[in-house]
Amino acid sequence: MSSLDVTLLGTGTPNPNPDRAGASYLFRAADFRFMIDCGPRALLRLGQAGANASEIDHMFFTHYHLDHWADFGPFLVNRWMRGSRTPLRAYGPAGLQELVNNVLALHRRDLEYRSKIRAGPLDLPEVVATEIEEGFIFDHQGLTVAPFNVAHYPIGQPFGFRVEARDCKIVLSGDTCPNENLIRNALDADVLIHECVDYDAWTAIDIARDHMQHAHTPPAELGRIATDARARLCVTTHMLAASQPEELHRQIRQEFSGPLVIGQDLMTL
């Protein structure tokens, strides 16, 4: 399998932003499609990208902050409503089975109501949850998806993902502060999609600012990471609503001279 692209379904953070949905990414390789994360408004963005939930049989999660999974329940219901009867296979760090159980329980009443108006009896959606660690490799006809450990305080086991086909390597950082394991996994990536949190645009007043160096990556540090990883293209994601694209660009450029894109929802790479 050679062709591979990714659509940025959501490039925002937990705070509502009309221009940026929550974290979510649609990968396509030939006729195979899968998603990493399923944050708020991911289902809407999926439709805007020309896809739908019934086409997705595999879902990967970086971690379980709400902005990375809030649309998982609506996604499951919509996938079932659109006629998919195959189990969704979900992969993520420890805690995935609990998340799946709770999401299915939350939507059970709605699903039972909807099943009563179908032409015949239907089983409710099934999710096969696989809790994974660094070293796990998902392989579909030569396309591989591999999690790697990153650092996102206070999450115990956050992941980035390395997605590779024969002629392409796309690396997604997930939420992380700068760390060497990410650079090792992103080395010579064709596309590095990396979170970019400009602390000068941070508006939350009740969060201890000293946690930030352990949780997120500011733009100048992203520039250093992209340079050290020899990324062929650096793309920003997970940006605060108050961030100014031109300022992010300026700061990243202090440390990175390669191709650079400030990510936008529905951008395909």
List pLDDT tens digits, range 186-217.
999 999 999 999 988 777 666 666 677 789 99
Mean pLDDT for 240-268 is: 96
Q: Is the pLDDT of residue 44 over 70?
A: yes
- What value does the mean pLDDT of the chain take? 94
The per-residue pLDDT for 201 is: 76
How many helices (H) and strands (E) the chain has is answered by 6, 14
Mean pLDDT for 1-29 is: 92
The per-residue pLDDT for 206 is: 67
Torsion of CA 182, 90, 51, 244, to 10 degrees: -30
For the chain, first and last CA: distance in Å?
A: 17
Mean pLDDT for 8-18 is: 94
Would the CA dihedral through 169, 170, 175, 177 be positive or negative?
Answer: positive
The per-residue pLDDT for 205 is: 66
Structure tokens at 221: 């540090």
Q: Is the pLDDT of residue 230 over 70?
A: yes
- Which one-letter DSSP state was computed for residue 118? S
Q: CA 233, CA 245: separation in Å to the nearest integer?
A: 17
For residue 250, the one-letter residue type is R
Nearest-5° angle of CA 2, CA 183, CA 26?
40
The per-residue pLDDT for 209 is: 67
Cβ-contact 63, 159 below 8 angstroms: yes
Mean pLDDT for 5-29 is: 96
Q: Is the pLDDT of residue 114 over 60?
A: yes
| Residue carrying structure tokens 């919509």 | 78
Give me the residues paired with residue 6 across strands: 27
- More confident call, 233 vs 156: 233
Q: Is the pLDDT of residue 1 over 70?
A: no
Mean pLDDT for 42-46 is: 97
Mean pLDDT for 142-164 is: 96
